[in-house]
Structures are given as structure tokens and as C-alpha cells.
Amino acid sequence: MDISFSREPGNTFVVKLGGRWNIAEGIPSTEELQRQIASTPSPERVAFDGRELGDWDSSLLTFLIKMTGFCRQKSIAVSKEGLPEGVARLLDLASAVPKKDARKESSRVPFLARVGEASIEAGKSAGEMLSFIGEALLAFMKLLRGKARFRRSDLTLLIQECGAQALPIVSLISALVGLILAFVGATQLKMFGAQIYVADLVGIGMAREMGAMMTAIVMAGRTGAAFAAQLGTMEVNEETDALKTLGISPMEFLVLPRMLALVLMLPLLCLYADLMGILGGGIIGVGTLGISPAEYYHETVAALNLTQFVAGLIKAGVFGVLVALSGCLRGMQCGRSASAVGEAATSAVVTAIVSIIVSDAILTVIYNRIGV
């Protein structure tokens, strides 16, 4: 890299460039040239002489951009006539692109404006959710009339994914929840010598609340997120648009079988979770509290009745609807990018868990009011 400079008549400062310019050898500093230009008595023009240039790459262009930027700040004209044609064209292209500062100026939005924007967004989301629920209900009515269009093989596969394939994780979580309930109960009941009532605590807790809730939360993270990712990927690949072009409703073909599979399987998984939770509590009762297996069994049977299980199954059915709606809704709302698919899966899990907790509180109050 050779750089030299001279002053010519007419207040022109000429920068002569020569040699081989390779970015691997670095980019020469422009400070010395800038000092020379600044010390020249009011130069009117800066010209470049590139007749002795050899091979060059982006290092030359970077050097020239810095120099032209400096001249622009000093209101000095720049002549590109002495540069190779390719360099001049690239320099013109680089100067034609508007340069914006990546750091945007932060302007503080007034509090009321933020509240208004959040309210508008919440209203829009609520409207989209109600519209989706209405479309899902219409699709279900078509199913009852035998006019819904979806493949039965898809429903069978989804039932397997939502049911049998979920048994290992549901078994683990339910058994651990039963263990935890037994430990918590045993700590307090030991003080009164009433360890036998651990069976009542675990049995009622699993049948009425924890069996349905923990199964629903597991399915929200496992299956709800999967539904959102599957449908979101279809949105990215424009597969749902293709279905609409063929005259097939995505709500019937994609959403309806997923909702049916989850709503059918979640109550069954809830019953299985109740059993595993009771067995987990029995391990603590028999293993650490000195209760015989027969005593634990009889106390559990005496504490539970069909009403307890029905209350839990109703909750499981409601949770299944909410998890399926959340996953399919976020999937159908997904944008057209890879990051949007991840956001849809995350949003589906959050929406499902919040819906589960809220609906469980509402159903618990209703059960208390009607004496269940």
C-alpha cells in the first residue's frame, strides 16, 4: 500500500494511491492525510490518482469512504476521476445508501399513551381469540353433523401422541407430586399422631386438584407447544394458504383433530395421574410413616368417592379444551419467520398455563358453592 500526497495549483490536494491493497494487511490510517488537508490553506478540492494501483479489495474502498466522509464534513469537494472505474462505481453506491444510526433515539412515551396502546392491543387480542373460539365451535358443529373435513388417520395419530406417548412424563410428575403431598402432610400430621390421614390428603388432593392440574400443565408444555410449532411452521411454509386455495378449511383439517385428540385424552391421563399420585403417596406412607399397605388402601378407599373423581375429570376436560385452544390459536396467529414460530410456542405455553390456573380457581369456587 503506497500513499503520497501533493498540492497542485488551483487549491487542489492530490492523494496518490499505489501498490497492492489487501485487507489481510490492514487498512492504513487516514489521520495523517486528514491533518495535511486541514493544514492546507482552504483547499477547494481533493482528487485521487490511482494510476499506480495494483490489486485491490474492500480495504481500498473503506479507506476512500473515510476520506470522502472527512471531506464532506469540511465542505471540500471530492473528485473521483483518477480512480479506477470499479472503485468509483462502488464508492458512488456506498455513498448512495442512507446511513442510519443503529441506536435509535429513545423518546419517552407518555404513561396514558402506553396504557391506551396496551388496551387497544388487549382488545384486539380478545377479539381474535373470540373469533377463533367461534370458528372452532362451528367446526365442532360440522363434526356433529358429519360434514367436517379431516383425515381420520391424523386423528388416530394425534390421539397416540397426546395419550400413550405422554404416559412416561405424566407417570413421573404425578408420582413425584404424590410424594410431595405425602411429605407435606406427614410433617404436620405426625405432630398429632394422625399419620394415617396422609392417605386422605393424597387421595383427595390428587383426585380433585393436583391430578388434573399437573397433567394439564405437563400437556401444555409438551403438546400445546408442539401444536403451536406445527401450525406455525405451516404458516411459515404457506401450507395453510394452500389449504384455503384448495377450498379446505384449516380450522377443520388442522385444528379440529388436535382439539379432539387432546380433549379425549386429557381426562384419561388425569385418571392415570390420580393412580400414580396415590401410589407415590403410598410409598411415603408405607415406607416412612409405618402404615401398612392394607391400612393405606382402606383409608384411601374410605376417603374417596365417585364425586371426587368426577370433579377432577370435569376440570381435566376443561383444561384439555383450554390447552388445545391456546396451542392452536397461537399457531394460527404465527408470523412468517423462524423467530415467530418460537414466539408462538412460548406464547402458547404461557397462555395455556394462565388459562388453567384461572379456570381451576373458577371451578373450585363453583364446586364450593354447589357443595361438591
Res 226 pLDDT > 70:
yes
The pTM of this model reads 0.70
CB 252 within 8 A of CB 148: yes
Residue 45 has φ and ψ, to the nearest 5°, of: -150, 145
Cα dihedral 75→77→83→86 (10° resolution): 70
- Determine the 3-state secondary structure of 132 from DSSP: helix
Average pLDDT over residues 279-305: 89
> pLDDT tens across 326-346, in order?
999 999 988 888 889 999 999
**pLDDT category, 9, cuts 50, 70, 90?**
low
> pLDDT tens across 172-215, in order?
999 999 999 998 888 888 888 888 889 999 999 999 999 999 99
- Per cent of the chain over pLDDT 70 is 92
Instruction: Give the residue, 53 or 140, on which the prediction is more confident.
Output: 140
- Alpha-carbon distances of 110 from 106, 119, 171, rounded to whole Å: 13, 14, 51
What pLDDT score was predicted for residue 102?
Answer: 46
Residue 119 CB coordination number (10 Å) = 10
Domains and CATH numbers, the chain: 2-96 (3.30.750.24), 132-370 (no CATH)
Average pLDDT over residues 125-129: 88
> Rounded to whole angstroms, how far apart are CA atoms 264 and 158?
11
Residue 154 CB coordination number (10 Å) = 15
Instruction: Give the residue, 16 or 245, on which the prediction is more confident.
Output: 245
Beta bridge pairs of residue 48: 15
Select from 174, 171, 184 the least CA-distant residue to 285.
Answer: 184
> Rounded to whole angstroms, how far apart are CA atoms 266 and 186?
30
- Determine the 3-state secondary structure of 75 from DSSP: coil
Average pLDDT over residues 77-88: 76
CB 185 within 8 A of CB 278: no
Average pLDDT over residues 336-364: 92
> Rounded to whole angstroms, how far apart are CA atoms 160 and 136?
22
- Determine the 3-state secondary structure of 46 from DSSP: strand
